Amino acid sequence: MGGKWFANRGQIVQTLAAIIGTCLAGVAVYFVLKNNQSLPPKTSVFYALTVVAIFLLGIWIGRLSKPTQRFFETQLSERKDEAASPVIGGSASIGDINIYPHPPAAPAVVVEPEEKVTPRIIFLGAEYIEMTEGLESRGLYRAVGVRGEGKGIVASFRNEDAKATAYAIWAHLRYRDEGGKEIGTGVSGAFWLDKGTEVITLRPDESGAIVVLLYLGNQGFIVPWIERRNWRGRRSAGFPQSFRSASCPATVEIRLRDQDGNSLLDAPVVLEISGREDSVTIKQVEP
């Protein structure tokens, strides 16, 4: 490349010969001056030419070093330009050293959060059926082929969403008398029929029924439910409870919510109840 001082071996030999000749001439001059204290004419001409040759040799070496100096100055300028501009790619080399700049960084990928879809639950209807308790009085089940232990009202719902699953559905009930006054403080955690639990999951097209109330004859009605609270280090332990009232309700308001508190119904379902234990009529009140 252009930065080399000697193009071939002949230049190297020539330069070494000139240096050696200069050294020998210097030794000879030293002894002549020491013995004669003056130089012969021929000797003076020889040494004058030797001085000129050394001077020309210095000029030649200086010219050879200039291309190398210019080369390094050019490389330094290019490096400064590269540092001031965005890195595009490619490579550069200085002598036997190759410089490979880092490739441009890939643009950050922004992932949009998926919009959470709340499933759509619809009301299918209510019915008056016979029910029986589960093992250890855990939950209420439809009495099929056996005599029921009591009669009550259940309300059925279905997940109409084609894709989304409704997780951890809780039923919240409010009871009112004929004058519209609320009876008690309501129930949060009513049992799901045939499930033995107060929380269920409905996949698309799946359905479930809530136990709205059980009649106690002349003693009014009762609603079994589950209370969740921490107990002995256990998180959200379930404790069976029951809501009792001597007066039967005229209306029941049903709300369904998921584990995040989102409402799963377009509007609360309100059922109007008339009659007594032997003859019960249930009608939905349009919002």
The verdict on residue 113 lying in a domain is: no
**Domain range spanning residue 51?**
9-99
The number of distinct structural domains making up the chain is 2
Amino acid at position 213, single letter? L
CB–CB of 245/175 below 8 Å? yes
174 and 258: one domain? Answer: yes
- The answer to whether residues 86 and 129 belong to one domain is no
| pLDDT tens by residue, the chain, 287 residues | 445 565 556 566 567 766 776 676 666 666 666 665 555 666 666 666 776 677 666 666 656 555 555 655 666 666 655 555 554 444 455 455 555 555 666 677 766 666 677 888 999 999 998 888 876 556 788 888 777 778 889 999 999 988 889 999 999 999 999 999 999 888 888 889 988 888 899 999 999 999 998 887 677 788 888 877 766 665 565 666 778 888 788 999 999 998 888 899 999 999 999 877 677 888 998 87
Of 215, 207, 214, nearest to 256 by C-alpha is 207
Is 116 within a domain? no
Looking at the fold, whether 70 and 138 belong to one and the same domain comes out as no
Residues 90 and 199 in one domain: no
167 and 29 together in one domain? no
With respect to residue 220, please indicate whether it lies within any of the assigned structural domains. yes
pTM, two decimal places: 0.57
Amino acid occupying residue 108: A
Q: Are residues 90 and 14 in the same domain?
A: yes
**pLDDT value, residue 174:** 94
41-76 confidence digits (pLDDT tens): 666 666 667 766 776 666 666 565 555 556 556 666
